[in-house]
Amino acid sequence: MPKFPLLSLLSALLVAVLAACAGTNVASNAPATPGAPSLAEVYADNFYIGAAVNARQISGRDTAGLRLLASDFSSITPENVMKWEEIQPGPDTYTWELADGYVELGERLDMWIIGHTLVWHSQLPAYVRETTDPDQLRAYMEDHIRTVAGRYAGRIDGWDVLNEALNEDGSYRESVFYKVLGEQYIVDAFRLAAEAAPNTQLYYNDYNLNNPQKRQGVLRLVKLLQDNGVRIDGVGMQGHYNLNGPPIAEVEASIDAYAGTGVNVMITELDLTTLPNPWDLDGADVNQDFENSPEMNPYPDGLPDSVSTKIADRYADLFDLFLRKDEAVTRVTLWGINDAQTWLNNWPIRGRTNYPLLFDRESRPKEAYDRLLTLKDN
Ligand code: G3I
């Protein structure tokens, strides 16, 4: 029985109306381009095609985004609504509405449903972030994981149990969890998640996992769990890439290394920033305020065809790799449905116009989308 019947009813009605309007059966991944196969259909034999969804899509306000979600994707990830600060803002305060709506949306669309994320140093409420007592922090972590993972046991298919616990050199990030509890927090987090949701896959998720040094850190973390007899089912390589890097060979070497430990590999937050960043400029002061800098926001009114083609080429190169590795790669999730919603419009510089995803600001398929639809024909 849905926890919030009105939200659930509105969202269910919307999905049904979208299906009727689009003349599609929402659960069948009918195509965004009538007559063509959908993205999820094209890759159904290889890996799930996922999308991060935001509050506007979960609550049914982004009808164009929901139509694409139903037509072209087979997995969903909550961009923000299940993070600790959103779902448990106080020690005795849980806010379930959007998280429940997210899971109900995934069930209605017959999606592979991801939970993101149980333990992360960012978007953490102050009562946790400022804890110094080990017993108190251990109690907070146990309560959070048992309550959240337990609530959706049997409904969420895979959890990002732990997010971004490593530094670029592969050492442990000095998060509040590591500083107060040591590396044992990693073992405890996965053990608690496995107890709360025994049939849910459990993942470690992080960015720059193509980086050889960070790769060694991941292998050490997976070994720590396996040596302690605690289940880990997959490693999530976030995939916040750009048009020129990281090298395909580096990504491939990491896929092979993680798969070699016996876990699945997933590309969990794929987007390709198309704009320059301060650190790309020789000698740039990254702390300089670049807001409203035309140099940093070169395409405010639209993308040149040459750049659209470069994005398509880069997505094609990456998907060629994922297809070659589809024994190990079980999911490729885009970090958003369309360019209007991407976090990259506001990071690392606020108010820019970025073009990192497969659908444009009006939710129309881009050249990169068309390229991926026909990639396997070549
Ligand atoms: O909800 C508040 C809203 O009430 C307020 O009016 C508004 C004012 O700016 O802020 C809103 O919160 C924002 C939140 O997204 C929800 O939209 C935060 O400011 C903003 O910082 C937050 O950004 C998210 C970011 O994680 C936070 O680190 C991005 O949307 C989200 O895409 C991004 O996702 C992370 C993954 O979870 C983990 N991997 C890296 C990835 C990119 O950072």
Check pLDDT > 60 for residue 92.
yes
Q: What is the pLDDT of residue 291?
A: 75
Q: Look at residue 26 in the predicted model and tell me its pLDDT.
A: 39
Residue nearest to atom 30 of ligand 1 (CA): 343
Q: What are phi and psi of 273, to 5 degrees?
A: -60, 140
Q: 219-235: buried (b, 16+ CB within 10 Å) or exposed (e) per residue?
A: bebbebbeeeebbbbbb
d(CA 175, CA 180): 8
Residue 343 near ligand 1, beta carbon < 6 Å: yes
Of 76, 80, 334, which is best to mutate to test ligand 1, by the most ligand atoms within 8 angstroms of its C-beta?
80
Counts for the chain of helices (H) and strands (E), in that order:
14, 9
Domain range summary for the chain, segments of one domain joined by +: 8-377
Average pLDDT over residues 33-37: 75
Active-site entry in 183, 269, 291, 362: 269
CB-ligand 1 contact for 346 (6 Å cutoff): no
Please state, rounded to an integer, the average pLDDT across all residues of the chain.
92
Active site residue 142: no
Measuring CA to CA, which residue among 341, 342, 356, 351 is closest to residue 307? 356
| CA 264 to ligand 1 center in whole angstroms | 27
H-type alpha helices, 244-366: 248-259, 305-324
According to the model, what pLDDT value does residue 279 have? 76
CATH T-level topology, domain 8-377: TIM Barrel (3.20.20)
**229 band by pLDDT with thresholds 50, 70 and 90:** very high
pLDDT of residue 97: 98
Q: How far apart are CA 297 and CA 353, in angstroms?
A: 7
Query: Tokens in use for 177?
Result: 């969890």
Residue 86 alpha carbon, nearest atom of ligand 1: 1
Residue 324: both structure tokens together: 């070659």
Q: What is the mean pLDDT of residues 121-148?
A: 97
Q: Whose CA is nearest to atom 37 of ligand 1?
A: 79
Ligand 1 centroid distance, CA of 122 (Å) = 10
**Burial of residue 126 (number of CB atoms within 10 Å: 0-12, 13-18, 19+):** exposed
Mean pLDDT for 228-257 is 98
Q: Is 164 known to be catalytic? A: yes
Task: Determine if ligand 1 sits within 6 Å of the CB of residue 85.
Answer: no
For ligand 1, the distance from its centroid to the CA atom of residue 80, given in whole angstroms, is 6
Confidence band, pLDDT 50/70/90 cuts, at residue 287:
low
Cα separation, 58 vs 55, in Å, equals 5
Contact assessment for residue 327 and residue 309, using Cβ atoms and an 8 Å cutoff: no
Q: What is residue 281's predicted lDDT score, i.e. its pLDDT?
A: 67
Please report which confidence band the pLDDT of residue 170 belongs to, taking 50, 70 and 90 as the band edges. very high
